Amino acid sequence: MNRHLGRLLVLLAGLAVAGKLAADEPAATSFPRTRISEDERDHWSFRRLNPGRVPAAGKSRWGRNPIDRFILARLDENGLVPSGRASRRILVRRAHFSLLGVPPSPEVIGQHETDRSPSAWSDLVDRMLASPHYGQRWARHWMDVARFAESGGFEHDDDRPTAFHYRDFLVAAFNRDMPFDRFVAWQLAGDELAPKDPLALMATGFLGAGVFPSQLTEAEFESSRYDELDDMVTTTGVAFLGLSIGCARCHDHKYDPIPSQDYYRLASAFTTTIRGEVTTRAPWHSTDQKVLVTSEGLPKLKHHADSRGFPHFYQQTFFLARGDVHQKHGAADTGYLQVLVRPGTSTSHWQVKPPADRKRTSFRRASLARWMTDTERGAGHLLARVIVNRLWHHHFGRGLVASPNDFGTQGEHPTHPKLLDWLAQRLLDCGWRLKPIHRLLLTSSVYCQNGRADGNRQDRDLENRFWSHRPRRRLEAEAIRDALLSVSGRLDSGMYGPGSLDENSRRRSVFLKVKRSRLVPTMMLFDWPEHLVSIGRRANTTTAAQALAFMNSPVGRGYAGSLAERLPADPGRAIVRAWQLALGRTPRADEQAAVMVFLERQEHIYRRAGRSDPIRTARVDLCQALLGMNEFIYVD
Amino acid sequence: MEPATNDCKAAAMLSRRHILARAGAGFGVVGLSGLLHSEGLLGPEARAASGLGQRGLAPLAPQQTHFPARARQVIWIFVNGGPSQVDTWDFKPGLVRRDGMSIKTFDPKFDNTTGFFRNSVGNLMASPFPFHARGECGKRISSIFPHLGNHVDRMAFVHSVHTESNNHSPALFMMNCGMPRMGLPCVGSWVTYGLGSSSQDLPAFVVMSDPKGRGLPKGHAANWSAGFLPGVFQGTHLRPQGAPINNLKRPRLMTDLSQRNQLNLLRQLNTLGNGPLSVSGELASRIQSFELAYRMQSAAPEALAIETETRQVQGLYGIGDKRCDHFARQCLVARRLVERGVRFVQLYSGGNENQRSWDGHSDIRGNHSQFAGETDRPVAGLLADLAQRGLLDETLVVWCGEFGRLPVAQTGKKPGRDHNPHCLTAWMAGGGIRGGTTYGASDDVGFRAAENRVHINDLHATILHLLGLDHELLTYSYNGRDFRLTDVAGRVIRDVIA
């Protein structure tokens, strides 16, 4: 009797509390509930887009598009003037690398240099955007963000032989200019949103691309499942929203308004989500293929611990105190980050009802995707900011927000908040298509500036925060390797299909297989990520080991040999051609003179050493030196 | 070569190294950033160039410590597979007394999920090895370490270490990276990030794995991964077979002279038309990196050339002794590396798992006799050699594996022991360590860490402390959070510090 009364009281008390909360809050739980204050909602990245007006044109004749007017306004405020336009040759090279990741052929440069049409530049940008190389370049950027790899890591690092289809999805999606909101939604829930579309299924590889132990004991079953959910939540948060949601696993986020309860409600969207395989056929395949997907209700993939009874997933996700599976505080039902939910909006607003004939999945991920891409009441505005910033980051070397994976309170402030918002709004106006944004960036005068930082700019804009000039940038690992392949005439531009671990492969680096225990050594030398966690900005180091690779690696020497074979017999003409192919320009007189002396000396050394083909060897040596030049891997 | 010549060479090298060290700058500073500064080549562009800021130019240049260091470098003997504490360093008379009894008589709550195998849990089992008191401190240790027994007065034993996973790779990650998960930087990476290197001619952080074809430790290269730190801080794995380091040998058709000439051309092309002063920081740094690389071609093979050591030194490590020759060579390489300024060396004893490593599930006696036999003399030789060269004072030597083993038998044809995350023994010796001490204690049978329990974060905090680094200040900002090796915990074990 007493016990019953007590229970009733608890129930009533619970109802009373619940009555004060928003209607969609989870059922009674002892887990702490933290509300987000108005102040916390006011952090710049959580606010709705506010592009304001494009600044007036002013007197300056510099500047061709709205981006430039935003930039110019800030330069003006700081007593700076922009730099002049770089030469056509430099611009072709710059844009080829930042948009396509391969150098332009001498012919493409020549063509542009002589194109007198007033739209020569924008025509060239359009041609580049139509090139299949574009998707290969930008897919690779997204692979960093998605911590994508083709093996499971941990003890056995078992291969995921059907995982590469996710990479192929990325290449195709960028090339087709898939609207970014769909690009995001399909990575979260392509299997629910467009189950008949092979690309949508391939896209779901995103959630399942993380590491997972291959060996488990009973004591680890549940905690490793929570680790897996954590990988999904964390990567989703960082990749799409630039938020470190993962920090809220053990306690409320220390800096950002992300309570632990939001973390578990988000994690609950993935409760029954596991890796699986389906058979489908991408448009470029002639036969059906097995594709690794992340979905629900599919047969479980084999796991070493199956014989021990490893369940792969549990029916519910619980609120965990301190992230500890032994401290459960009630089941979490799916919900979203409060700070990115417009006050007064219920979680059910985004709920996608499963069609009557599709009971295999829960449609929680489809609902999550809806919230994520909702610019009115959900997270869409932040999603747009984060992606336009990534574009800026890769084209300019640093984002308008210098921490592309952190838009939280600990991240960098945007140097140009209005411009960022204007670009994000523009993305929405363009139906979430990225190519128009690329076009805007590349046809701006700020992109086309030359690199000279004179005294004034050095003093007032030491770190180029106002974009008063264009600093030189080193190419990333893939672009270096792809440039070597391209210049040596070895590049195989075949698309799609399984990747390779072989450094001698002639395909673009995006098709190198990413196996976590055997990361391609040369890529690692040039700051390739470890593909374990999302990376928004790679490191950029200069080491002796990199130089050793240029000097001694057999693969590198092979590139030099192939380049030498492309050159005409006459030494003078050979030098000119080598410079054109490798650097996109003709050699200066002093360079030509130095090289002539070098070739003579080198031939002499080899003759004295009794080498069989001194002339050829000397030429290969020259080509190798050329490929080692700063100018080869630093782009103006 | 004549022994006398070698000794002279070693002495000359030592003095050069010491002079540079005393001057407050290792070779690296002089070699790279020093040169850039002296030529006025460090420009503002460099600052924006990487997440490391200015350091991207010379990421391995020596860094300031937080406070005076007790050790300058680390050699970590990773006893891979999970060595049994009660058969090595942690003498348990209680286990002898209870030999053959059920563990439930000791711990009624014992459940079978601690180990890896549920269906082969036997009774408490005394160590098959006799224990003897060694050294002035009289530490009782297992007879499988006759040579290491000579050095107990240099060692500080921690008997109360406990970890968070009973499974190899998560436990390896825990021991190496501070979390039982993949994706975080390991101790060696944190240390090289924190301190840089005193040598720019050699990799800063070197890892050696089993050369007998028994495989890599579980989790493979993730054990020496830099995680989210820049890749330059990851461990360089010396390949156990073939060429140990990539790209050290110049192309087949070239001669030393022609390569020198080629590098001269490259330097000329990189500066022509610019004038040296307009070659900004990052570009100047890259020009210099080719010079360093050229030197590395001879420096690295030289560092690995253990055949130039005297017969006496080789003998000290056990080179030529079939049982331990392979590990002896690696230990000697380790000494030569730290002598040349390498910051962190990690050596794995044993390969993958089961009988290929210290993972003595079946036949603990055979397994531990074998692996102790492979390492006892080499590690003892290493300690003796470091000491006689005056290097032990500045070199921290760590001995431990990823977890301990259960005091109960794992039943089978020959009794073994299963995994035990609740208790393991680690010892440290050298730089800053108070020798002959014992810290913490396991329970009566060696099942759980009982007194003065030491978490892996504490062990890491202590190692960093000895190197002059405050584990709470050594942070790296990544995706919105300042990460530490010790996460949100860690306590320096003061009692083991001299």
CATH code at position B79: 3.40.720.10
The reported pTM is 0.84
Q: Assess contact for A179 and A139: CB atoms under 8 A.
A: no
Which residues in A lie closer than 8 A to residue B270 (C-beta atoms)? 629-631
**Residues B258, A211: C-beta atoms closer than 8 Å:** no
Q: Which of A379, A410, A439 is the last residue before a domain boundary?
A: A379
Alpha carbon distance A164, A150 (integer Å) = 7
**Residues A218, B219: C-beta atoms closer than 8 Å:** no
- Residue-range definition of the domain harbouring residue A585: 544-635
**Residues A557, B268: C-beta atoms closer than 8 Å:** no
Assigned domain for A563 exists: yes
**Residues A542, B296: C-beta atoms closer than 8 Å:** no
Range of weakest confidence among A26-35, A58-67, A511-520, A543-552: A26-35
Assigned domain for B100 exists: yes
- Measured N-to-C along each axis, helices A477-487 and A554-565 cross at an angle, to the nearest 10 degrees, of 40
Alpha carbon distance B110, B114 (integer Å) = 8
Alpha carbon distance A216, A207 (integer Å) = 21
Q: How many domains does chain A have?
A: 3
Task: Report the alpha-carbon angle B108-B111-B112, nearest 5.
Answer: 135
**Which residues of A, range 74-103, sit inside 8 Å of B by Cβ?**
none
Q: What are phi and psi of A609, to 5 degrees?
A: -85, 0
Please give the pLDDT value at position A8: 41
Question: In angstroms, what separates the C-alpha of B13 from chain A's closest C-alpha?
Answer: 22
Report whether pLDDT(A12) > 70. no
Q: Residue B192: name the closest of B333, B341, B334, B344 by CA.
A: B344
**Residues A550, B201: C-beta atoms closer than 8 Å:** no
- Residue-range definition of the domain harbouring residue B406: 73-246+308-496
Which amino acid makes up residue A128? M
Q: In this structure, what token pair is assigned to residue B304?
A: 């690995």
Question: In angstroms, what separates the C-alpha of A178 from chain B's closest C-alpha?
Answer: 27
Structure letter (DSSP) for residue B195: H
Q: In this structure, what token pair is assigned to residue B424?
A: 């393991």
What does R_g of chain B's alpha carbons equal in angstroms?
Answer: 24
- Best residue in B120, B254, B268 to probe A by mutation, most A CBs within 10 Å? B254
Contacts for A204 with CB less than 8 Å, ≥ 6 apart: A166, A186, A187, A188, A189, A190, A191, A293, A294, A295
Assigned domain for B163 exists: yes
**Residues A624, B262: C-beta atoms closer than 8 Å:** yes
Alpha carbon distance A203, A201 (integer Å) = 5
Structure letter (DSSP) for residue A98: I
> Chain B contact for A553, CB < 8 A?
yes
Q: In this structure, what token pair is assigned to residue A332?
A: 């979490």
Q: Assess contact for B269 and B279: CB atoms under 8 A.
A: no
Assigned domain for A561 exists: yes
Assigned domain for B183 exists: yes
Q: Assess contact for A440 and A67: CB atoms under 8 A.
A: yes
Please give the pLDDT value at position A495: 94
**Residues A227, B181: C-beta atoms closer than 8 Å:** yes
Structure letter (DSSP) for residue A55: P
Distances A171 to A70, A111, A143, A203, B167 between C-alpha atoms, Å: 32, 28, 10, 11, 38
Contacts for B115 with CB less than 8 Å, ≥ 6 apart: B121, B166, B406, B410, B418, B419, B420
Which residues in A lie closer than 8 A to residue B48 (C-beta atoms)? 397-398, 463-464, 471
Which amino acid makes up residue A347? T
Q: Is B2 helix (H, G, I), strand (E, B) or coil?
A: coil
Report whether pLDDT(A15) > 70. no
> Chain A contact for B108, CB < 8 A?
no
Q: In this structure, what token pair is assigned to residue A149?
A: 């790899």
Q: In this structure, what token pair is assigned to residue A52?
A: 């304001």
Assigned domain for B130 exists: yes
The model's confidence at residue A454, banded by pLDDT at 50, 70 and 90, is low
Task: Report the alpha-carbon angle B445-B448-B454, nearest 5.
Answer: 130
Assigned domain for B116 exists: yes
Assigned domain for A402 exists: no
Assigned domain for A428 exists: no
Q: Assess contact for B475 and B419: CB atoms under 8 A.
A: no
Q: Is A63 helix (H, G, I), strand (E, B) or coil?
A: coil
Alpha carbon distance B183, A61 (integer Å) = 50
**Residues A218, B113: C-beta atoms closer than 8 Å:** yes
Unique residue bearing structure tokens 């799409």: A240
Q: Tell me the pLDDT tens digit for each residue of A242-301.
A: 999 998 998 999 889 999 999 999 999 999 999 999 999 999 999 999 999 999 999 999
Please give the pLDDT value at position B115: 84
Q: In this structure, what token pair is assigned to residue A462?
A: 């030491």
Q: Tell me the pLDDT tens digit for each residue of A619-634.
A: 999 999 999 999 999 9
Alpha helix locations (H) across B32-167? 33-38, 45-48, 93-97
Q: Assess contact for A534 and A147: CB atoms under 8 A.
A: yes
Report whether pLDDT(A149) > 50. yes
**Residues A548, B166: C-beta atoms closer than 8 Å:** no
Assigned domain for B224 exists: yes
Assigned domain for B419 exists: yes
Q: In this structure, what token pair is assigned to residue A229?
A: 């959910």
What CA dihedral angle connects A287, A293, A299 and A302, to 10 degrees?
100
**Residues B218, A213: C-beta atoms closer than 8 Å:** no
> In which element (H, E) is residue A597 found?
helix A589-608
3-state secondary structure A269-321: HHCCCEEEEEEECCCCCCCCEEEEEEECCCCCCCCCCHHHCCCCCCCCCEEEH
DSSP string, B316-356: HHTTT-TTTHHHHHHHHHHHHHHHTT--EEEEEES-SSGGG
Q: Is B399 helix (H, G, I), strand (E, B) or coil?
A: strand
Q: Residue B400: name the closest of B173, B176, B146, B77 by CA.
A: B77
- Best residue in A247, A546, A548 to probe B by mutation, most B CBs within 10 Å? A548
Which residues in B lie closer than 8 A to residue A582 (C-beta atoms)? none
- What residues in chain B have per-residue pLDDT under 70? 1-54, 57, 274-281
Q: Assess contact for B69 and B63: CB atoms under 8 A.
A: no
Q: Assess contact for B203 and B248: CB atoms under 8 A.
A: no
Task: Report the alpha-carbon angle A272-A276-A279, nearest 5.
Answer: 135
> Chain B contact for A410, CB < 8 A?
yes
Q: Residue A579: name the closest of B271, A208, A566, A5 by CA.
A: A566
Please give the pLDDT value at position A9: 41
Distances B276 to B30, B39, B69, B281, B287 between C-alpha atoms, Å: 19, 9, 38, 11, 11
**CB contact burial A390-429 (16+ within 10 A = b; e otherwise):** bbbbbbbbbbbbbbbbbbbbbbeebbbbbbbbbbbbbbbe
Q: Tell me the pLDDT tens digit for each residue of A194-236.
A: 999 999 999 999 999 999 999 898 888 999 999 999 999 999 9
Q: What are phi and psi of B431, to 5 degrees?
A: -30, 100
Q: Which of A379, A409, A427 is the last residue before a domain boundary?
A: A379
Please give the pLDDT value at position A151: 95
Q: Residue B284: name the closest of B56, B25, B62 by CA.
A: B56
Assigned domain for B36 exists: no
Q: Assess contact for A74 and A400: CB atoms under 8 A.
A: no
Q: Assess contact for B135 and B437: CB atoms under 8 A.
A: no
Unique residue bearing structure tokens 């005068």: A445
Q: Which of A330, A357, A379 is the last residue before a domain boundary?
A: A379
Contacts for B144 with CB less than 8 Å, ≥ 6 apart: B87, B88, B129, B368, B369, B372, B373, B376
Q: Assess contact for A214 and A303: CB atoms under 8 A.
A: yes
- Best residue in B172, B266, B272, B418 to probe A by mutation, most A CBs within 10 Å? B266
Report whether pLDDT(A458) > 90. no
Report whether pLDDT(A24) > 60. no
Structure letter (DSSP) for residue A352: P
Q: How many domains does chain B have?
A: 1
